[in-house]
Amino acid sequence: MPGKLSIDSYGKSNVRVTKVIRLPDRHELVELSVNVQLWGDFSRSFTHGDNASLIATDSMKNTVYVLAKTHPMDSPESFALSLADHFVTTYPHVRRARIAADQTSWRRIDVAGRPHPTAFESAGAGIRAGWGLAARDGPRSTGASISNLLLLKTTDSAFIGFIRDRYTTLPETTDRIFATEMSVNWTYESLDIDYDAAFTRIRTALLETFARHKSDAVQQTLFDMGQAALDTEPSINQIQIDMPNKHRVPFNFKPFGLEFDNDVYITTDAPSGRISATIERE
Amino acid sequence: MPGKLSIDSYGKSNVRVTKVIRLPDRHELVELSVNVQLWGDFSRSFTHGDNASLIATDSMKNTVYVLAKTHPMDSPESFALSLADHFVTTYPHVRRARIAADQTSWRRIDVAGRPHPTAFESAGAGIRAGWGLAARDGPRSTGASISNLLLLKTTDSAFIGFIRDRYTTLPETTDRIFATEMSVNWTYESLDIDYDAAFTRIRTALLETFARHKSDAVQQTLFDMGQAALDTEPSINQIQIDMPNKHRVPFNFKPFGLEFDNDVYITTDAPSGRISATIERE
Amino acid sequence: MPGKLSIDSYGKSNVRVTKVIRLPDRHELVELSVNVQLWGDFSRSFTHGDNASLIATDSMKNTVYVLAKTHPMDSPESFALSLADHFVTTYPHVRRARIAADQTSWRRIDVAGRPHPTAFESAGAGIRAGWGLAARDGPRSTGASISNLLLLKTTDSAFIGFIRDRYTTLPETTDRIFATEMSVNWTYESLDIDYDAAFTRIRTALLETFARHKSDAVQQTLFDMGQAALDTEPSINQIQIDMPNKHRVPFNFKPFGLEFDNDVYITTDAPSGRISATIERE
Amino acid sequence: MPGKLSIDSYGKSNVRVTKVIRLPDRHELVELSVNVQLWGDFSRSFTHGDNASLIATDSMKNTVYVLAKTHPMDSPESFALSLADHFVTTYPHVRRARIAADQTSWRRIDVAGRPHPTAFESAGAGIRAGWGLAARDGPRSTGASISNLLLLKTTDSAFIGFIRDRYTTLPETTDRIFATEMSVNWTYESLDIDYDAAFTRIRTALLETFARHKSDAVQQTLFDMGQAALDTEPSINQIQIDMPNKHRVPFNFKPFGLEFDNDVYITTDAPSGRISATIERE
């Protein structure tokens, strides 16, 4: 046969776990969707159907629930790292384990103006995920991400001075809507982190900069947001940001004897611009 | 040919409009996805391809944007009713127009603890929609709905005393997780309504009741929520509620020498219970 | 309290079942997603949390799997009707049961030009569903539907002669692309039906008419398709068809010194026209 | 400020184009969703909001439609490569362009047993995509992928001999359902390719091997499928395959006094196994 195995990994996707932590005055609720991915010496399963070194993915799923019982699940990052540690320490032939956990965003329902101790509603506001990576005899690391966070500013966004050639029909504008669905991820430089606090600082820096920035290009706003995150958070040295440009297109009122006054826009999904960059600490 | 036209309607779906209202101290942002549906004398288009009485759906789309310019868009209900009125008053052969508008949920970004005047993030928290119906020489009405609102309570939910027969394996429980994706809709009894205030009162009554209720069945909680809404809001006489039971299944810890302590659950999407009812004012 | 229960039902959604029928020369594969909905005397569960008359939705789920074992599952309609019969005959307080079953569409993988006896690939081509309804001491009925079937014709579609007024900017066209995502449903007049054969005849009549029709309006094509289905299939007297107009918009080549020659279109999803009608046998 | 730009790119996502090629006896239909991504000297847009070197993403969109007019669009790969070439040859500061194009899968409607010349229905069967990469003064390359292709075999799949430890509850089985949603991608070794023919050969080799393989592990089937593709197609030296294990779980009939006979399964989506590998020519 012509081929050889060059890279392989396997694992379990979308192990969904709900944990309730019953404190005296309130319940804490954590819901994660966990992904397990392992690298190691599994090649004979591929080449010979010999499964002697395979951890069944069903057993990985069981492991997530069993560890969820004893782990405080205080952050997706710490739970992910514990799981990654488990796999590399339990199985000598596992070289590397990467666990990622998407967290469902809940907030307490307000009842008569006070957060209820045991009832929750969806919080929207993008998806937080944390990940942990452990390598046998190697480094351990953690990181986090925000994805699917819709942001929109109604002013302070211009787009002028770009290339005008045969393919250009877009007019210049000094005041447009800037809407995006932000995805951001970063790696922590240390494992001695208060993950929730760091996450909140980074998220706040990103959003406040988005709100305040006088934008001359999506690119420029993205860069300033990344700089603000690095400026705020000493535990990261690098941040990767994707900010598609989800266009709001001025409606053409001319055929109706009216003028567009930066008031009524066509909301579109496709196509969208795609702007990505990694910003590093100097 | 064997058939005759018995019911017909047509319209335009998913006309997406963004409106920015530029006040001196802040901008208001409204994003709606509008659906137009008309009933009237359009039969020759079906039977003969004679389009003389057809309003092109592209023209309906234009109409949404043109009316968006002058309408205050203070609520999806009022905008929907204005559009419905427009169609029945502009075109004599339109018998009935129903407009529904789904509103994208935005909230202001907090900057240094204060809501920013021109920058927004997604608010999650379910979809609000409003609708308006106008009939030639007939009644006009409005209503609203909440959909896709995830709710979860970690306690105060039991399920006992149900039928046990050959098909029953579910154990009784006095303490389970109750999770749902609520959809609710209602019709207003008057057109002289502060729609935002009514919506907020109904939403609050539903959520506070969900949070507080000692549930013996999803059915019972649904009924109490509907009663609370009717009790709170004199402008509605009827409310229709769907509350699927999105199960959180106790993880079986027995094979691992552990016990389930109402702590770790399998999060599932399918199958789900489906519980629906309409509650009317007596 | 102010309210009374006016309408209620409950059931189980999305019970997903895979059945393999092991014939000597090949395996048959059936995958259904089953929805159960019951009406009956369940009011004390809503009003008092008294579940003595409740069939747990978990038991409904078990019932689907248990009946799947013995039923031939030769069509979604017959399986749905058997389930509906089961609920009204087993539980005296169930007045009515409606079961709907969406079928996943598989076809055999061709191996060396012949269909493989035990291996399958996704067939696409829309979703077939069947339903069965049984009422205590009342009628039993069945029906079927096709949904999400994408159809497109590149010519033989005009749109002229529609109303031109202040809101009209759409030019007339004698040759446009006609694309739709068809949904169709019907009820059978008898229970003595070869459901697969009837389904295929109706589907074929609809698609052949779509392909052949010289369309002067989506409405007209829809009506002719419905007539063709009634003409072909004596077991139905009525058919309901939704055919949104999924627009392909001519690209404006003028700014580039080129002409649109019915060749290159912008593919869009939103907004879309929505055209619906019910056609009945005269 | 603390940060510097380390990696950046931008482009346009989801430019959707429909092209009709009007031949004497039939129309050809091509629908693509095109993604453009450029690398080059755009840093001053990020760091200074100076857009002098920016090609507006709206201009990229226009370019897709303008090139669609003259290009034969005989394959997504060739169209993608032409677009990539265009960007690196037109703009001296563009170092690299990568274009990917997802193709909507249509097949002709059969009318009276013959494929209709101008009418089409959705073909399902996974998504074909092609890509082209061009670098200034550097290599040009193309490749293709299949994604979201559902495959299922009802027998010839075992899973035995895996690790049994504290976390293992899965029983061994010599006959299970093997269902997956395959994603595969590869790079061509030459640009002198009949892309459609190569695509069909690779797809056929993968599916026939899936159908015929006596599987002792998903891993083994994946490896054999990759080997078959390399064996069949000399123009590729490497293939990357993802085959999640979409479980069909035996229904537990014991509580109902029945036996599971490899007949009725619970169809599940989550969690799923995830098996990935790259197979290279030796």
| Contact flag C264-D17 (C-beta cutoff 8 Å) | yes
Question: Left, alpha or beta for D239 (phi > 0: left; psi -120 to 50: alpha)?
Answer: beta
Residues D37-79 have pLDDT tens digits of 999 999 999 999 999 999 999 999 999 999 999 999 999 999 9
Which residues, at least 6 apart from B226, have a Cβ–Cβ distance to it below 8 Å?
B239, B241, B277, B278, B279, C3
From the number of C-beta atoms within 10 Å of its C-beta (0-12, 13-18, 19+), residue A187 rates as middle
Please choose, from the candidates A69, A238, B138, B79, the residue with its C-alpha nearest in 3D space to the C-alpha of residue D5: A238
From the number of C-beta atoms within 10 Å of its C-beta (0-12, 13-18, 19+), residue B271 rates as buried
Give chain A's end-to-end CA distance (angstroms, integer): 50
Instruction: Name the more confident of D241 and A138.
Output: D241
| Contact flag D264-C122 (C-beta cutoff 8 Å) | no
Interface test with D, best of B164, B165, B168, B169 (most D CBs within 10 A): B169
Specify the 3-state DSSP secondary structure of C62.
Answer: helix
Residues of B recognised as catalytic: 12, 57, 247
Rounded distance, CA D61 to CA A168, Å?
A: 10
Q: Which residues of C59-96 are buried (b: 16+ CB within 10 A; e: fewer)?
A: bbbbbbbbbbbebebebbbbbbbbbbbbbbeebeebbb
Structure tokens at B36: 């137009």
Rounded distance, CA B79 to CA B91, Å?
A: 19
Please choose, from the candidates A97, A84, A98, A78, the residue with its C-alpha nearest in 3D space to the C-alpha of residue A30: A78
Average pLDDT of span B110-137: 94
| Contact flag A270-D6 (C-beta cutoff 8 Å) | no
Q: Cβ of A4: how many Cβ atoms within 10 Å? A: 17
Question: Left, alpha or beta for B62 (phi > 0: left; psi -120 to 50: alpha)?
Answer: alpha
Rounded to 10 degrees, what is the CA torsion of D202, D208, D209, D211?
Answer: 140
Average pLDDT of span C177-202: 97
Which residues are bridge partners to A188 per DSSP? Answer: A236
Interface test with A, best of B251, B253, B261 (most A CBs within 10 A): B251
| Contact flag D123-C126 (C-beta cutoff 8 Å) | no
Chain D residue with CA closest to A1: the answer is D227
Rounded distance, CA C214 to CA C231, Å?
A: 19
Rounded distance, CA B220 to CA B160, Å?
A: 13
Rounded distance, CA D102 to CA D98, Å?
A: 13
Name the active-site residue from C19, C27, C57, C153. Answer: C57
State what percent of residues in chain C have pLDDT above 90: 95
Question: In the structure, what pLDDT confidence band is assigned to residue B80 with cuts at 50, 70 and 90?
Answer: very high
Q: Between C62, C122, C149, which is nearest D121 by CB?
A: C149
Give chain D's end-to-end CA distance (angstroms, integer): 50
Q: What is the mean pLDDT of chain D?
A: 96
Does residue B2 have a pLDDT over 90? Answer: no
| Contact flag C256-D212 (C-beta cutoff 8 Å) | no
- Residue with structure tokens 């379910």? B126
| Contact flag B274-C54 (C-beta cutoff 8 Å) | no
Residue D146 CB-half CA count within 13 A: 25
Structure tokens at B94: 């339109």
pTM over 0.90? The answer is: yes
Whether the ω angle into residue B271 lies within 30 degrees of 0, i.e. cis, is yes
Question: In the structure, what pLDDT confidence band is assigned to residue B137 with cuts at 50, 70 and 90?
Answer: confident
What residues of chain B lie within 8 A of the CB of A255, using their CB?
62
Which residues are bridge partners to D128 per DSSP? Answer: D103, D146
Structure tokens at B254: 């027995």
Please choose, from the candidates C98, C12, C7, the residue with its C-alpha nearest in 3D space to the C-alpha of residue C55: C12
pLDDT of res. C1: 62
Interface test with B, best of A17, A64, A109, A183 (most B CBs within 10 A): A109
Compute φ and ψ for A243, nearest 5 degrees. -135, 85
Name the active-site residue from C12, C61, C86, C213. Answer: C12
pLDDT of res. D3: 86
Compute φ and ψ for A52, nearest 5 degrees. -60, -25
Structure tokens at A104: 């469902």
Residues C58-71 have pLDDT tens digits of 999 999 999 999 99
Question: A172: which DSSP letter?
Answer: P
Rounded distance, CA A154 to CA A244, Å?
A: 16
Question: Left, alpha or beta for D255 (phi > 0: left; psi -120 to 50: alpha)?
Answer: alpha
Does residue B196 have a pLDDT over 80? Answer: yes
Rounded to 10 degrees, what is the CA torsion of D62, D63, D66, D68?
Answer: -110
Q: Cβ of B37: how many Cβ atoms within 10 Å? A: 21
Residue type, D50: D
Specify the 3-state DSSP secondary structure of B65.
Answer: helix
Rounded distance, CA C107 to CA C125, Å?
A: 11
Instruction: Name the more confident of C165 and A126.
Output: C165
From A204's Cα to the closest Cα of chain B, the distance in A is 8
Question: A137: which DSSP letter?
Answer: T
What residues of chain B lie within 8 A of the CB of C2, using their CB?
227, 230-231, 281-282
Name the active-site residue from C61, C86, C246, C247. Answer: C247
Rounded distance, CA A37 to CA A34, Å?
A: 10
Specify the 3-state DSSP secondary structure of A68.
Answer: helix
pLDDT of res. B1: 62
Residues D176-198 have pLDDT tens digits of 999 999 999 999 999 999 999 99
Does residue C154 have a pLDDT over 70? Answer: yes
- Residue with structure tokens 């006959």? D175
- Residue with structure tokens 């994003």? B31
What is chain D's length?
282
Which residues, at least 6 apart from A156, have a Cβ–Cβ distance to it below 8 Å?
A178, A213, A214, A215, B118
| Contact flag D154-C123 (C-beta cutoff 8 Å) | no
Structure tokens at D139: 């290599």
From D166's Cα to the closest Cα of chain C, the distance in A is 30
**Are the C-beta atoms of residues B92 and A96 closer than 8 Å to each other?**
no
Q: Which residues of C14-34 are buried (b: 16+ CB within 10 A; e: fewer)?
A: bbbbbbbeeeeeebbbbbbbb
Q: What is the 3-state secondary structure (H, E, C) of chain D?
A: CCEEEEEEEEEEEEEEEEEEEECCCCEEEEEEEEEEEEEECCHHHHHHCCCCCCCCHHHHHHHHHHHHHHCCCCCHHHHHHHHHHHHHHHCCCEEEEEEEEEECCEEEEEECCEEEEEEEEECCCCEEEEEEEEECCCCEEEEEEEEEEEEEECCCECECCCCCCCCCCCCCECCCCEEEEEEEEEEECCCCCCHHHHHHHHHHHHHHHHHHCCECCHHHHHHHHHHHHHHHCCCEEEEEEECCECCEEECCCHHHCCCCCCCEEEECCCCEEEEEEEEEEC
- Residue with structure tokens 């690298």? A39
Sign of CA dihedral D263, D266, D269, D274: negative
DSSP-derived pairing of the beta strands D114-122 and C140-153 = antiparallel
Question: In the structure, what pLDDT confidence band is assigned to residue D2 with cuts at 50, 70 and 90?
Answer: confident
Does residue C113 have a pLDDT over 90? Answer: yes
Where does chain C have alpha helices with state H? 43-48, 57-70, 76-90, 195-212, 218-232
User: What is the maximal distance between C-alpha atoms in chain B?
Assistant: 76
Chains that contact C by 3+ CB pairs under 8 Å? A, B, D
User: pLDDT tens digits, chain A, 282 residues: what are they?
Assistant: 678 999 999 999 999 999 999 999 999 999 999 999 999 999 999 999 999 999 999 999 999 999 999 999 999 999 999 999 999 999 999 999 999 999 999 999 999 999 999 999 999 778 999 999 999 988 999 999 999 999 999 999 999 999 999 999 999 999 999 999 999 999 999 999 999 999 999 999 999 999 999 999 999 999 999 999 999 999 999 999 999 999 999 999 999 999 999 999 999 988 999 999 999 998
pLDDT of res. D110: 96
Whether the ω angle into residue D271 lies within 30 degrees of 0, i.e. cis, is yes
Q: Cβ of B99: how many Cβ atoms within 10 Å? A: 30
What residues of chain B lie within 8 A of the CB of C238, using their CB?
6
Residue type, B256: F
What residues of chain A lie within 8 A of the CB of B256, using their CB?
62, 66
What residues of chain B lie within 8 A of the CB of D166, using their CB?
256
Interface test with A, best of B12, B32, B109 (most A CBs within 10 A): B109
pLDDT of res. D263: 96
Name the active-site residue from D61, D86, D213, D247. Answer: D247
What residues of chain A lie within 8 A of the CB of D42, using their CB?
219
Rounded distance, CA B153 to CA A37, Å?
A: 32
Chain C residue with CA closest to A257: the answer is C166
| Contact flag D69-C149 (C-beta cutoff 8 Å) | no
Chains that contact A by 3+ CB pairs under 8 Å? B, C, D
Average pLDDT of span D161-176: 97
Instruction: Name the more confident of A115 and C2.
Output: A115
From the number of C-beta atoms within 10 Å of its C-beta (0-12, 13-18, 19+), residue B117 rates as middle
Rounded distance, CA D9 to CA B277, Å?
A: 52
| Contact flag D270-A16 (C-beta cutoff 8 Å) | yes
Question: B55: which DSSP letter?
Answer: P
pLDDT of res. A2: 76
